[in-house]
Each structure stands twice: as structure tokens, then as C-alpha cells.
Structure 1
Amino acid sequence: MTFGARVRGWFQRTGSEALGWILVVLGVFMLVLPGPGLLGMFAGIALLAKHYTWADRLVEPLEEKAVEAARYGVATIPRIIVSVLGIVWVAAVGLVWFLSPEIPEFEILGVGFGPELPAAGWVGAVGIWFSDLIAVVLLVYSIRRWR
């Protein structure tokens, strides 16, 4: 048995399960931090579906809804334009996070914010831009597949 075959076998048994759990946990964190949280959680559950029945039952309806939403989103030119404008908006928000301007201090439910943006700087910006890149890839894929 070659080394490559052993690595593939390990990943199919153990590595995919470990990566699935890591993606689910990172997805939960990215729900409140800049990043594609729902996408990370979905990818993790999709990997776990090979190992757990509960995950497989979750993936099927999620996949159907995702395909339905993608078809709906590219059904007309105005919807595609709105999607592109949303992508541009998210890129602009990433630029604001990168520049990290001072904001007024305020409090929500006892949690104080300001004078810096939460997760300000290049780390937050990269997370936002990564989400934007995923949106671009998914939009292009949806247009090519369903238009």
C-alpha cells in the first residue's frame, strides 16, 4: 500500500470527521466574528454526513433549499444586479474594517463598544473579504449553472 493510499484512507475514515467538527466549531465562531459562519457550519455538517445519520438527515433538506435559493437568485437580471451590489457593499465594509476608523462609544445590553470597531484591522477585513470571495464564486457558479 502506497503512502498516498494510506493518507486517503485515513482522511476518509478519521480526517474527514475531524475536519467536519473543526468546520462546525469555526462556523459557530464565525457567526459572531467576520467570516462565512453558516457556510463553514454547512461544510462541516456535509463532511460529518458520511459518518453520522443525524448529519445526513440535516444535509438533504439544506442542500435542496440552497439549490432553490441559488436558482431564485439568478432567475432575473435585476436579482443578479442586486447580488453584485451586495458583493460590492460587503467589500466596502471590509475596507472600512481594514481602515478601522474610530467610532462613538456606545453600549448594547451592557456590552460596551468603541472607540474601535470590534475585530478591527486586517484580520477582520480578511474574514469579511473571504466571505465576499465566496459570494462571488457562488454567484458565478449559479449564473453558469442555471442561466
Structure 2
Amino acid sequence: MGIGKQAKRILIASAGAVLLVVGVLLLVLPGPGLLLVLAGLLVLASEFPALERYVDPVRDRAMKAAEDSVSSPLRIAGSVLAGLALLAAGIVWGTVRSLPFSGWSTGSSLILSSVILFALLGWSYRRVKSRREAVRER
């Protein structure tokens, strides 16, 4: 195996692992953390076919969780508030030097988490809305 192929495999494995770990961390927050777990598994399964058997069960649960996350105005509000809290925490951690692990490395990761949460929330909302419209048309 050439160095280029090894580097590509390491890069894909690292990206998949990061997505998987961030997804697992987001499971404790309101929002679609399972979608990131699914994304991580899909990336890892592209290089490690033995992981493909885990993709379909996680995909089913992730799609159900995505639908559940936008199933009521209260859940949407909770997810939006969590995203805003992450954004605010990122700004605070980036600017207040007296906090543990302060600085923009921590702050930017919190801000990125909020952006991911909002993007996945919007995707989930559009997906559920289009499915409901398709059901009404039948």
C-alpha cells in the first residue's frame, strides 16, 4: 500500500472518528446527535467494510430521532435554546480569560457545535415537512 493510500485512509479514519465522537457527545444535548454518529459510521464504513452492519440500525434510529427532534414546538424550542447556549458559551469561553480552558480554540469548537446543531435541526425540519406534505398529497 502506497504512502498516499495510507495517508488517505488515516485521514478518512480520523474524520470518521471525530464525527462519531462528536455525535456521541451530542447525544446528551437536545438535538440530532445520532445524525453525526451515522455520518461518522458512514465515513468509517467507506474504509472499513466490517462497520457496514452497524449503519442501517443507526440510520433507522437517527432518522426517527431527527423526526422526533422537530415533532413539537417545545422540542424545537429546546433545540434552538441549546444551540443558542452553545453559541453564547463559545463567545464567553473565547473572550473571558479567567475560565478554565479559555481561549478561541475552546470557544470556536463550541460555536462550531452550535452551527452543526442548527444545520441538523434545519435539515430535520425540512425533511419532516416534506414527508408530511408527501403524505397529504397521497
**Larger radius of gyration between Structure 1 and Structure 2:** 1
The CA deviation string for residues 24-67 of structure 1, in whole angstroms up to 9 with x for no partner, is 444578689xxxx9876653431231343321112222211111
Q: Kindly tell me: are residues 28 and 134 of structure 1, through their superposed partners in 2, closer, same or farther at Cα, counting changes over 3 Å?
A: closer
Q: Does 1:127 align with 2:109?
A: yes
CA distance in structure 1 between the partners assigned to 2:106 and 2:118 by the alignment: 19
| TM superposition shift of 1:77 | 1.1
| TM superposition shift of 1:99 | 1.5
Q: Does 1:70 align with 2:69?
A: no
CA distance in structure 1 between the partners assigned to 2:20 and 2:47 by the alignment: 20
TM (norm. structure 2) is 0.68
Residue 22 of structure 1, aligned match among 14, 18, 36: 14
The aligned runs of 1:64-143 (5 Å cut-off) are 64-102=60-98, 116-118=99-101, 120-143=102-125
| TM superposition shift of 1:133 | 0.5
What is the total number of aligned residue pairs between the two structures? Answer: 118
RMSD: 3.2
Q: Between Structure 1 and Structure 2, which shows a larger proportion of helix residues? A: 2
Q: Does 1:144 align with 2:136?
A: no
Moved over 2 A (4+): 17-20, 24-32, 37-45, 50-54
Residue in structure 2 matched with residue 61 of structure 1 by the alignment: 57
Residue in structure 1 matched with residue 135 of structure 2 by the alignment: none
Q: Kindly tell me: are residues 26 and 132 of structure 1, through their superposed partners in 2, closer, same or farther at Cα, counting changes over 3 Å?
A: same
Structure 2 counterpart of 1:60, one-letter code: D
Q: What residue ranges of structure 1 are gaps of 5+ in the alignment?
A: 1-9, 103-115
Q: Identity rate of aligned residues, in percent?
A: 28
Q: What residue ranges of structure 2 are gaps of 5+ in the alignment?
A: 26-32, 130-138
